[in-house]
Amino acid sequence: MACRSERLGSCQCNKNPVESILFRMLNTDTLQAHKNQHDNLNHICTMARGCPCEGNKKVLLKNPEVICKKASEVLLKTVAFIRNLPSFYQLPQEDQILLVHKCWAPLFVLGLAQEKVDFELQELTVPSLLKTILLNQPSTAGQVTMKSDAGVPLIEVQRIQMFLCKIWSLDICTKEYAYLKGMALFNPGIDGMRFPQYVQTLQLEAQRTLMEFTSMMHSTSYSRLMWILEALDILKSVDPKVITELFFRPISGEINLEELLLETLYIKY
């Protein structure tokens, strides 16, 4: 399910160095057992919608040792998905690079959904200067003191939560995830592409196959397809920097994920 965040405060209104990096990330010791998934779905959807006063809040993962390992597994599966698409490698290298730069984040979030990655958050808070000086009180339980560059905006994480909430409620199967990933990867609207028409053909093919599969497997195929496309539309606003900061920086430090993916896919630039 989407992240079961803690209460975030009261509302006031072939082996290569790159693969070695991923291997180390995957072999970080986990400190907690996996949590149960898919409970309290309605509550999560409500939390994901949030409220206007939460726009300035920053959060981070409560259990980064566990979740970052899961995220690394999702990243490797994302690479494997692209590697197994001959049509991707038929594109000129410039278009391949653009697609990876612009589309890896939606693919990754689809991977989170498919692998049912569950995560919790904790809020970063800026303590009152007067309270710090006069009372010398620590921050409350479930909160940590904010550093200048720490955490990601809660509102950005809520977009990911909302997508996960919607997609899990539809009980998407493996084939549907594959078609959705094809639609997300082959995005013809990226500026600077040499062959956007061919990319559009690939995207439309993935969408047509999804429609055919949905109509064959579900009686309410049209409404289901509309819900799926609505959920997919959320991914367009997911910030890749937020994904890097939230899911990879806690155990990997400063890392350029786009460059990492390109090297892993053997795209030289």
Predicted pLDDT of residue 91:
97
Q: Which residue has the higher pLDDT, 4 or 91?
A: 91
Report the predicted TM-score, pTM, of the whole model to 2 decimal places.
0.77
Candidate ranges 4-8, 150-154, 182-186, 256-260; pick with highest mean pLDDT: 182-186
* Domains of the chain, CATH where assigned: 17-171+236-264 (1.10.565)
CA angle (106 as vertex; 102, 110 as ends), nearest 5: 155
**pLDDT of the residue at 250:** 92
Answer yes or no: is pLDDT of 204 > 90.
Answer: yes
Instruction: Please state, rounded to an integer, the average pLDDT across all residues of the chain.
Output: 81
User: Which pLDDT score, from 0 to 100, does residue 49 have?
Assistant: 54
Q: Which residues of 48-87 are buried (b: 16+ CB within 10 A; e: fewer)?
A: bebeeebeebbbbbbbbebbbbbbbbbbbebbebbeebee
When pLDDT is cut at 50, 70 and 90, the band that residue 138 belongs to is low
pLDDT at 7: 42
State the Cα–Cα distance between residues 125 and 58, nearest whole angstrom. Answer: 8
Helix (H) or strand (E) holding 175: helix 174-185
Cβ partners under 8 Å of residue 238, min gap 6: 105, 106, 109, 156, 159, 160, 163
**For 154-201, how does the pLDDT look when each residue is reduced to its tens digit (9 = 90+)?**
999 999 999 999 999 999 999 999 999 999 999 999 999 999 999 999
Spatial strand order of the sheet with 152-153 comes to: 143-145, 121-125, 58-61, 152-153
Residues 37-70: pLDDT tens digits?
A: 444 454 455 555 555 555 579 999 999 999 999 9
Count of CB atoms situated within 10 Å of the CB of 45: 18
Asked whether residue 73 carries a pLDDT value surpassing 80, the answer given is yes
* Predicted local distance difference test score (pLDDT) of residue 17: 45
Look at residue 220 and tell me whether its pLDDT is greater than 60.
yes
Helix, strand, coil % over all residues of the chain, rounded to 5 = 60, 5, 35
Q: Which of 23-37, 91-105, 241-255 has the lowest mean pLDDT?
A: 23-37
Region of residue 266 (phi > 0: left; psi between -120 and 50: alpha; otherwise: beta):
left
Q: How confident is the model at residue 255 (pLDDT cuts 50, 70, 90)?
A: confident
